[in-house]
Amino acid sequence: MNIALIAHDKKKELMVQFCMAYCGILSKHNLCATGTTGKLIAKETGLAVDLFLSGKQGGDQQIGARVAYNEIDMVIFLRDPMTELQIEPDVAAMLRLCDLHNIPIATNIATAELLILGLDNGYLSWRDVVNPKNSKKGRII
């Protein structure tokens, strides 16, 4: 499956820790991330991560476009609820796209853990039916 990883600045370290904890599961899937987050994950975990632009340069919008084209199967967007309101439209846009296209999205660590464990247990295999072209491991970009 194709998994997108995004984290606000104050959540980047938590995202890296999450990826370290679930490295065994994540390594079985195609990962993409916004630039800074993806570089940190790749450096600290050794996971292969396809990089988009940083969030501030439009990386979350690039991922949103992939969601709209049904090329992403899951989004983990660890957001800082205390962040500035100017970033909130980007979060709202991502949530809307995921809702519109039935893409599971986690916005906090508790939900991210449930999605990853569900993925490992096969609870998200319905995405292979909805999106069969993405069921084999390969590049997203």
Phi, psi of 75, rounded to the nearest 5 degrees: -125, 130
Domain total in the chain: 1
Strand partners, 5: 33, 76
First to last CA, the chain: 13
Range of the domain at 25: 2-134
Ramachandran quadrant class, 48 (left: phi over 0; alpha: psi -120 to 50; beta: rest): beta
Per-residue confidence (pLDDT) for residue 87, from 0 to 100: 58
Model confidence band, residue 88 (pLDDT cutoffs 50, 70, 90)? low
Query: What residue has token string 């049904």?
Result: 70
Query: Nearest-CA neighbor of 91 among 50, 127, 63, 51?
Result: 63
List 50, 60, 90, 120, catalytic entry: 60
Residue 140 included in any domain: no
Per-residue confidence (pLDDT) for residue 133, from 0 to 100: 63
Chain-wide mean pLDDT for the chain? 89
Residue 60 annotated to the active site: yes
Q: What is the pTM of this model?
A: 0.89
Residue 55 included in any domain: yes
Residue 141 included in any domain: no
